[in-house]
Amino acid sequence: MGRSEMNGRAVKRRGFVLGSLALMLSGCSTTTTDGPPLGYRVFGSDPDVDPRYRRQEVAYSGGEPPGTIVVDTGARFLYFVEADGLATRYGVAVGEEGLSFKGEATIGRKAEWPSWKPTDDMIARKPRLAQYAEGVPGGPSNPLGAAALYLYQGGQDTLFRLHGTNAPWSIGNAVSNGCIRLTNANIVDLYARTRIGTRVVVI
pTM metric for this prediction = 0.76
- Counting every residue written for the chain, the total comes to 203
Asked if 147 and 103 touch (Cβ cutoff 8 Å), the reply is: no
Q: How far is CA 59 from the centre of its chain?
A: 24
CA gyration radius for the chain? Answer: 17
Q: Which DSSP string corresponds to the chain?
A: --HHHHHHHHHHHHHHHHHHHHHHT----EEEE-SSPTTTT-TTSS---SGGGS-EEEE--S-PPTT-EEEETTTTEEEEE-STTEEEEEE-BEEPTTT---EEEEEEEEEESEEE---HHHHHH-GGGGGGTT-B-SSTTSTTTTEEEEEEETTEEEEEEEE--S-GGGTTSEEESS-EE--HHHHHHHHHH--TT-EEEE-
At 141, the amino acid letter reads: S
Asked if 161 and 93 touch (Cβ cutoff 8 Å), the reply is: no
d(CA 148, CA 20): 22
Active-site residue set = 163, 179
pLDDT in tens, 96-149: 754 567 899 999 999 999 987 777 777 787 787 777 777 777 787 788 899 999
- Each residue's pLDDT, cut to its tens digit, for the chain (203 residues) gives 554 444 444 433 333 333 333 434 445 655 444 455 555 544 444 455 678 899 999 999 989 999 999 999 999 999 999 999 999 999 999 977 545 678 999 999 999 999 877 777 777 877 877 777 777 777 877 888 999 999 999 999 998 999 999 888 889 988 866 789 999 999 999 999 999 999 999 99
